[in-house]
Amino acid sequence: MKKILVLFLLFIVPVVAYLFFASGVNSFSSLPTLHKGIPEFGQWSDLDGNPVRLQGKITVLGFGGSDLIEHRGNLFNLNQKIYNRYHEFKDLQFVYLCPPESKDAAKLITDKFAEVVDMKQWHFVFAPKSEIETFHTSMQVQQPLLPDASSSFVYMLDKQRNLRGRKDEGKTIDGYDTFHPSIISNEMLDDFKVLLYEYKAALRKNHNAEKRPKGL
């Protein structure tokens, strides 16, 4: 019995612990809502001149600033670590708010990314710098915009335009720094999976309710 116990402690427990910590999904049953009712976009449009709306979409929202080329590494990190894996989820969009002077750079980056991944769910949306700053202020996030209306942080909004994030040991995480690939691969991806799981679970629940006979 002692040998069996020793073998169990040496081999089984570490394996179970590894599977637990490597699961990639945090302990939240749902991702906390940090701020409700982020304002809808104004009359702003994307590279094709089409309006983009937040309502009804899970949105990863960023602020590209006047010099997108300067910040292209951050966009690349996000594109490779998350967008490339999940862009086929139909109710998902990645949106970067930018001043109009960054259109040429946005087109260049879009074409470059499109060489390896479908960019239909990724939108560069253009608005006057003052309106971007006002919108950012309304989000009530912790991280300020840089002078060119950019930020290395991105934010996750649900379909009702609520800001989602985590409250971890008294610390509120409302944004994810794309400058650090490790943050995208760990904290952000972890929370992102939880948010997607919420909606997949809700879809299954609604589907089962529709199939259930009346009165049950």
User: DSSP per residue over 158-205, as a string?
Assistant: -TT--EE-EEETTEEE--EETT-HHHIIIIIHHHHHHHHHHHHHHHHH
- Give SS3 for 118: coil
Domain extent listing, the chain: 34-211
Residue type at position 72 = R
Q: What is the pLDDT of residue 20?
A: 39
pLDDT value of residue 200: 82
**Rounded Cα distance, 198 and 132, in Å:** 29
pLDDT tens per residue, the chain (216 residues)?
655 665 555 666 454 444 433 444 444 468 999 999 999 999 999 999 999 999 999 999 999 999 999 999 999 999 999 999 999 998 999 999 999 999 999 999 999 999 999 999 999 999 999 999 999 999 999 999 999 999 999 999 999 999 999 987 789 999 999 999 999 999 999 999 999 999 888 676 664 544 444 544
CATH number of 34-211: 3.40.30.10
Q: What is the pLDDT of residue 5?
A: 60
What lies within 8 Å, CB to CB, of 26 at 6+ separation is 166, 190, 191, 194
pLDDT of residue 7: 57
Tokens of 141: 């996030």
Q: Is residue 106 packed enough to be buried (19+ CB in 10 Å), middle (13-18) or exposed (0-12)?
A: buried
**pTM of this prediction?**
0.82
